[in-house]
């Protein structure tokens, strides 16, 4: 079980709280039948505990975690706004868009300058930088493959947002760390957020074809 020691040097208390197993309140009633079902869940790849707010899901799992081998449990509290791929992808898109606007030269340097101006946190830079380097290293191949799929629109005639999102999405697909449909979905969301609904539909069609051509879906 991953735990943070109180007063640990360099630990953000807000972040530490995300990894802290909730304490069971006085008078807590153990739900033996549900605990037994959770024990059986260790035989499966995934167990979903579902129910309305306030019924005690977190306390049930906390009780189960307290009686489970420490090397089998890691606690992480996540909220809807913790859509991590969207955060990092937005950072990559900022860098790619600025790179386009500055003539398409030295992507790594442009990314650093943009993130310096925005005071982007080191961890965000580290993770977003992985995808920036993928685009930088595979740029010509990405553009060539995307150009084959945009037959009615030459890549250079597309808007900077559309080009940037397509490169970002294609790089993520080639990297292979994210399930293809999830990668496409995140790219579509970015295109809709920073472009238009038409941009989103176009990105969806091109990246879907990109993934199918590569045998990913």
Quick one: 68 and 90 in the same domain?
no
Is the Cβ–Cβ distance between 66 and 20 less than 8 Å? no
166-193 average pLDDT score: 91
Q: Token digits for 123?
A: 């961890």
Q: Is the pTM of this model over 0.75?
A: no
Number of domains in the chain: 2
Percent of the chain with pLDDT over 70: 81
Q: What is the pLDDT of residue 180?
A: 92
Q: State which of 21, 40, 72 marks the end of a domain.
A: 72
Q: What is the pLDDT of residue 66?
A: 84
pLDDT over threshold 60, residue 70: no
Q: Provide the residue range defining the domain that includes 18.
A: 13-72
Per-residue pLDDT tens over the stretch 115-134: 999 898 888 888 899 999 99
Count of helices and strands (H, E) across the chain: 9, 0
pLDDT over threshold 50, residue 12: no
pLDDT over threshold 80, residue 29: yes
In a domain, 78, yes or no: no
């Amino acid at each position: 079980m991953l735990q943070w020691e109180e007063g640990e040097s360099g630990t953000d208390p807000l972040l530490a709280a995300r990894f802290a197993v909730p304490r069971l309140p006085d008078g807590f009633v153990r739900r033996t039948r549900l605990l037994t079902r959770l024990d059986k869940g260790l035989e499966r790849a995934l167990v979903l505990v579902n129910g309305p707010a306030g019924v005690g899901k977190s306390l049930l799992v906390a009780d189960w975690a307290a009686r489970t081998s420490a090397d089998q449990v890691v606690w992480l509290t996540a909220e809807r706004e913790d859509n991590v791929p969207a955060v990092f992808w937005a950072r990559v898109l900022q860098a790619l868009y600025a790179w386009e606007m500055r003539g398409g030269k030295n992507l790594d340097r442009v990314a650093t300058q943009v993130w310096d101006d925005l005071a982007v946190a080191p961890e965000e830079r580290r993770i977003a930088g992985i995808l920036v380097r993928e685009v930088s290293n595979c740029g010509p191949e990405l553009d060539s493959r995307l150009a084959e799929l945009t037959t009615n629109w030459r890549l250079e005639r597309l808007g900077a947002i559309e080009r940037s999102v397509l490169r970002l999405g294609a790089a993520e697909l080639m990297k292979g760390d994210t399930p293809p449909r999830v990668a496409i979905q995140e790219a579509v969301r970015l295109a809709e957020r920073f472009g238009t609904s038409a941009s989103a539909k176009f990105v969806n069609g091109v990246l879907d074809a990109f993934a199918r051509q590569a045998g990913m879906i």
